[in-house]
Amino acid sequence: MWESVGEEGSTVECISPRLMKVRLQIGRTCGVTFVVGYAPTETFRTTAGGDPNAKDSFWTALDAAIREVHSRDHLVVLMDANARTGRRRDGCCDAKIMGAYGRDIMNNNWERLLGLAADNQLSLTNTCFRATKGGVQHTFQSSNKGKEKYRPDFILMRQTDRRFVAFQNKASSRPPPTALRQPTGETAAELKATVMSAAAETAPLARCARGQRGWYTSEAQHEISEVSKEIKAAQQQLRGASKNSAFEATLKAMLKAARKKRSIARWRALETFFEGCVR
């Protein structure tokens, strides 16, 4: 292992031939730490001269490198994990860890990657959006005429930093679906009715003359602010172990309602508010 410190506080640490860490100072008290890794393949143990403990050693060292990063730093893990997530959330029901856009067939390295993300509260950011048409669908192609195509590369960030990731596709204005349950109970129904009522009240404002556009924008913003306050108040009223799941399910209903009213001026601000709460 070797370490190099730059003139402006940048640090490069080579932990092993498969793992390194780079820290960039971006302020007086915090920075960005990049952990870069290349995981052994599924067949690494069976190859000639392969270390039978190579996979365990790598994933243990990767976990230790992530845990050493200061909580004030922004963490970005860039790695060729040689992992296949599966097309659905196989073995992972937490939308904060994995999004709805997995690929290929799940393998053992995926189980290790999932465990790493869960233990360190990380999010697999490139599973949270659909690749655009004509964009990069895979990052590996086999030499046998390209018959095998996979996406074994992943970018992980702390779940608290997901807001810095642009999930929305350029080709589509709709954000990726969430894995939340359908809303149930009186609280969800009441809040959904509140949002739909606010939408109905702001609908006539969209027909105002161009010279009055500033007026209906402020009125719509007022309605959005009032609905936001009611939702936050409802969050405080929910009690018990199911508080988070019930509130998130409610927000999903709110988000669905807001999307139906996207033609209304400034209603997108309410949609953005709901998306931020759900994520």
Mean pLDDT by 10 residues, the chain (279 residues): 57 89 82 90 59 84 93 89 66 67 69 86 79 55 60 82 62 42 48 57 45 47 60 57 55 60 50 53
Return all residues near 245 (Cβ < 8 A) that are at least 6 apart: 180, 181
pLDDT at 39: 87
Residue type, 273: F
- Shared domain for 38 and 143, answered yes or no, is yes
Name the pTM for this structure.
Answer: 0.52
Domain region containing 121: 2-164
- Shared domain for 154 and 83, answered yes or no, is yes
pLDDT at 63: 94
pLDDT at 266: 45
pLDDT at 50: 60
Closest alpha carbon to 79 in 145, 162, 11, 139 = 139
Task: Please count the structural domains in the chain.
Answer: 2
- Shared domain for 192 and 123, answered yes or no, is no
pLDDT at 80: 84
- Which of 134, 164, 194 finishes a domain? 164
CATH number at residue 103: 3.60.10.10
For residue 173, being part of any structural domain is answered with: no
For residue 181, being part of any structural domain is answered with: no
Residue type, 261: K
pLDDT at 276: 53
pLDDT at 21: 92
